[in-house]
Structure 1
Amino acid sequence: MSVDLSGAHWFKSTRSAAGNDCVEIAHLDGGRVGVRDSKNPHGGALVFTPLEWDAFLSVARGGEFDRP
């Protein structure tokens, strides 16, 4: 899937530290969500459909990715 990210408004979580070691997201057309590494803003980005993003958030909020 090719998505034009040139006009995307990228942002970090308000809980992020002042450094650039963060993940940034952008809300895109059609409900899609872009995700990129703030250390490499001109590198590639992952783009998720609304269903994929909702599934990710659901398991993240449920603790699925917590360390044992």
Structure 2
Amino acid sequence: MARVLSFPRITRDPLRCPGIGRDSETPKILVVYLNRAATDDEMRFLHEVLQRAAPSAPKDD
């Protein structure tokens, strides 16, 4: 009978965003502070969320 290999599951802390800010040299750049490095999937998710939310942001009159 074949042996089944099992690999340890990687557990990560839940992703949290304790703050955001602006890049001091380029005002168009938004800096997002996270509690840990985001995975590629999390980065794609956050990008999609921002793309959907940006048009609803308050407008300066």
Say whether the fold is shared (TM-score over 0.5): no
Q: Higher RCO, 1 or 2 (CA under 8 Å, sep at least 6)?
A: 2
TM-score, normalised to structure 1's length?
0.31
Larger radius of gyration: 2
Of Structure 1 and Structure 2, which has the larger fraction of its residues in helix? 2
TM-score, normalised to structure 2's length?
0.33
